[in-house]
Amino acid sequence: MKNNSILSLSATGFHRIAYTEWGNTTAPRTVVCVHGLTRNGRDFDVLAAALADEARVVCPDVAGRGASGWLADSSAYAYPQYLADMAALIARLDTDGVDWIGTSMGGMIGMFLAAQPNTPVCRLIVNDVGPFIPKAALQRIAEYVGAGRSFADVAEVEAYLREVHAPFGPLSDDQWRHLAEHSVRDDGDGRLALHYDPGIADAFRHGPVEEIDDVDLWPIWDRITCPVLVLRGAESDLLPVETAAEMGTRGPKAEIVEIAGCGHAPMLMDESQIAVVRDWLRATG
C-alpha cells in the first residue's frame, strides 16, 4: 500500500484528495473503492489487499473525510463536487476504464458516474444503496452525522463506532480497532474527534432532520448500461428489499446478492463477502 493525492478544484479554490493505492500500476484492471458518508478509504484495506494480486486498487478519501482537504464552503459537500473530484482522480490514474465499488454514498457516486455518456465506469458494485432511499433511514443517519463528539482515546472511539455502526455486522475485535484507529483526528484540545469535517452534516441535512424526504433517483439508474452487482445487507433500512428487487429488473438489471447478518452496510472485510466481490469481478471480466 502507498499513499498519494491529487489537487481538485471547487468554487472556492483547490483542495487535496488523498488516496491509498494497492497492487501494480500496470495491472490490467483498475478498481476504485469509495466509502460512505462519514467514513474514509481505509475502510477498504482488507478488500484492497485481497484484490491487489489481480488489479490496481485505489481507495480515495472523499473531500472533507480522512486525509483529504476540507472545503471552505460546506454547501459544496454534494454530488456535483464529488463527481468532479472522482473524475480528476480517474484522470490522474491514466486509465480509460475503472471498476467501481461504492458503499452507500460511494455507491451513489458510482451510479451518477456510470449513468453519464462515455462513462469510464466499466463495471459497478453498489454496496447497500439504491436509487430509492427512504427518509427514515436518512433521518437516522442525520441524527449522528456531525454531532461533534470528542473522545479521550481510541478505545472510546471504538466503543462509539460499535454502537452507532452496529449494522456493519459481526466484525472482529481487530477489525473494529482498525476502523477506530483510522476514524480519528486530533481536535486541537488534546482529545480526539471523528476524522471528517462536521460541515458535511449541513449539506446532508439541508435543514431540520424532520424535513428530510425520500430520495428517488430511478431515472439515473435507468441510464446505467454497464454490468452491476448490488450487495444488500439483509437487515438494511437504507436499501429496502423491494428496491433491491426492482434494481434487478430495470435499468442495468443488476445481479442482487444479500449479505446475512448485516444492515447498512456490509463492511466487505469478511472473507465470504470479499469472495462475492472477487468472484463477480472475475466472472464479468
3-state secondary structure of 166: helix
- 238, pLDDT greater than 80: yes
Determine the residue type at 222: D
Q: Percentage of the chain with pLDDT > 90? A: 89
- 207, pLDDT greater than 90: no
Q: What is the mean pLDDT of residues 87-112?
A: 97
Instruction: Indicate the pLDDT class of residue 205, thresholds 50, 70 and 90.
Output: low
- 6, pLDDT greater than 80: yes
Looking at the DSSP assignment, which residues form a beta bridge with residue 26?
none
Determine the residue type at 262: C
Q: Is residue 264 part of a domain?
A: yes
Q: Is residue 157 part of a domain?
A: no
How far is 233 from 236, CA to CA, in rounded Å? Answer: 5
Q: In this predicted structure, what is the pLDDT of residue 162?
A: 97
Lowest mean pLDDT among 53-62, 187-196, 247-256: 187-196
Residue pair 180/194 in contact by the 8 Å Cβ criterion: no
Q: Is residue 172 part of a domain?
A: no
- 36, pLDDT greater than 90: yes
Q: Is residue 60 part of a domain?
A: yes
- 16, pLDDT greater than 90: yes
Q: Tell me, what CATH number does 76's domain have?
A: 3.40.50.1820
Q: Is residue 151 part of a domain?
A: no
Cβ-based neighbours of 36, under 8 Å, separated by 6 or more: 43, 103, 104, 105, 106, 265
Residue 28 structural domain: 2-135+213-284
Residue pair 52/88 in contact by the 8 Å Cβ criterion: no
- Work out how many domains the chain is built from and give that number: 1
Q: What is the mean pLDDT of residues 166-174?
A: 96
Q: Is residue 208 part of a domain?
A: no
Q: Is residue 248 part of a domain?
A: yes
Q: In this predicted structure, what is the pLDDT of residue 159?
A: 97
pTM of the predicted protein model = 0.96
Q: Is residue 110 part of a domain?
A: yes
- 240, pLDDT greater than 90: yes
Phi, psi for 110 (deg, rounded to 5): -60, -40
How far is 19 from 89, CA to CA, in rounded Å? Answer: 9
- 98, pLDDT greater than 70: yes
Q: What is the mean pLDDT of residues 171-191?
A: 95
Residue pair 89/6 in contact by the 8 Å Cβ criterion: yes
Mean of the per-residue pLDDT values of the chain = 95
All cell numbers assigned to 76: 459544496
- 148, pLDDT greater than 90: no
